[in-house]
Amino acid sequence: MIDFRRIAEPWQRYDVTVRDLPFGLALAVVSLLPALHGKGTQVGDLPVRPMDELAILVIALQSLPLAVRRRWPAVCLVLVSLGFALDQVLAYHPLASNAMPFALISAGVHLERGRRIAVAGLTAAYVLLAVVLSRLGASEPPEGYVVFYVALAFAWGIGAWLRFSRATEAERRRHVAEATRAAERTRIARELHDVVTHHVTAMVVQAEAARYLTAAPDRLDAALTAVTDTGRRAITDLRHMLDLLNPGHDTDGRTPSAGDLHALVERTRQAGQPVELAEEGDRAESAGSAEFVTYRVVQEALTNALKYAHGRPTVVHVRYGEKEISVAVSTDGSGSRTASPGGSGRGLAGLRERVEALGGEFSAGRQPGGGFLVKARVPAGSPA
């Protein structure tokens, strides 16, 4: 099949005046054909006048300005209107007199300023033309002039409607672009929160613990090594995230999944948090973004446990089903009763939005017997 879009692409690169010129030239050439003489628009019903040298000027004045109908719509409208008025008074009536509606539609679409002045000026000019034609002996009844004026107004109205439709569509696209940018900023903020908060929290906890190990060099060295490793992982994750944001960077685009939970739990244990991981069922071959969200839920819950219940037993329970992944992270107690387990609440709020965006359920709160519980049900199979 012929791809007309690829054929039209080179033509679209030319200036708009160049692209509009062929129509005006074609209309001028066709208007010179003897067979089409007198076949144009007629107002006043004056007897048709034979073609002469002046007719060529009238034809050019009506057709050639259509080349600038989008670049300079006001200039086009004035020249075509002048040519139309001369044509009706001299009664040539070539085919080029049909250019008037095109000029009106283009002006209705592209004229930026002075629209009301243009309408008022055209109306006054049309009334003057009707008076002149009547003085020349035109047999057109008054209602005929009114009907033709309504037709011209309808052509202008078409252009105004197209202008309004384009403006509405442009405004809609602007709102969509703003919403897209806001959603992207929110997504980036969530990723930064998840990556930075988890690693930095682990580093702070490990560094605090190292302060009390000065008398045990071996344990102090291990603690400092853990801090260093955590910092390196934070840098690696941040670089990976920046690579994803850079469209020109060659990256594999891998994101964390439920399969990385063991490594996450092990790193949390190294930070001094006793964590037990229990998994049920088999991971689906294609769980979509459900595994990524599951990983983020566990990561945020363990980060909060490190912050506010350091040293307290924490249990991570993940159950893989055919249609969903269920996860629950519970901590036996809180190291600070006054602190909020979610800090500013941004992390938990972001998790709730992520889970609910996939049609799942999310809850986080204190347990009746003490401690904190984070639960999520994430439908599997959602597109990443």
Residues 350-360 have pLDDT tens digits of 788 888 888 88
Residue 93 lies in a domain: yes
Residue 339 lies in a domain: yes
Residue 162 lies in a domain: no
Tens-digit pLDDT profile for residues 74-108: 999 999 999 999 999 998 989 999 999 999 999 99
Burial class (CB in 10 A: 0-12, 13-18, 19+), 250: exposed
Residue 58 lies in a domain: yes
- Check which CATH number belongs to the domain holding 347 and give it: 3.30.565.10
Average pLDDT, the chain: 82
Instruction: Specify the residue for token string 């109306």.
Output: 123
8 Å CB contact between 205 and 306? yes
Q: Which residues contact 71 (CB under 8 A, 6 or more apart)?
A: 15, 16, 17, 20
8 Å CB contact between 128 and 83? no
pLDDT of residue 25: 93
More confident residue, 322 or 70: 70
User: Where does the pLDDT of residue 345 fall: very low under 50, low under 70, confident under 90, or very high at 90 and above?
Assistant: low
pLDDT of residue 267: 82
State the average pLDDT over residues 160-164: 94
pLDDT of residue 335: 47
What CA–CA distance (Å, rounded) separates 323 from 256? Answer: 20
Residue 215 lies in a domain: no
Residue 157 lies in a domain: no
| Domain-ending residue, one of 140, 169, 186 | 140
pTM for the structure as a whole: 0.58
Residue 179 lies in a domain: no
| Domain-ending residue, one of 112, 140, 168 | 140
Contacts by 283-289, CB closer than 8 A, 24 or more apart: 283/258, 283/259, 283/320, 284/320, 284/322, 284/380, 284/381, 286/381, 287/258, 287/325, 287/380, 287/381, 288/380, 288/381, 288/382, 288/383, 288/384, 289/358, 289/382, 289/383, 289/384
What CA–CA distance (Å, rounded) separates 63 from 222? Answer: 87
Q: What are phi and psi of 179, to 5 degrees?
A: -65, -40
pLDDT at 135 over 70: yes
Count structural domains, the chain.
2
pLDDT of residue 45: 81
Q: Strands (DSSP E) along 228-371, which ranges?
A: 275-280, 314-320, 324-331, 361-366
How many other C-beta atoms are found inside a 10 Å radius of the C-beta of residue 233?
Answer: 17
Residue 232 lies in a domain: no
User: Where does the pLDDT of residue 252 fall: very low under 50, low under 70, confident under 90, or very high at 90 and above?
Assistant: low
Tens-digit pLDDT profile for residues 221-248: 666 777 777 777 777 677 666 665 665 5
Tens-digit pLDDT profile for residues 281-340: 887 765 567 888 888 888 888 888 887 887 889 999 999 888 889 999 999 865 444 343
| Domain-ending residue, one of 108, 140, 172 | 140
* Residue numbers of the domain that contains 65: 4-140
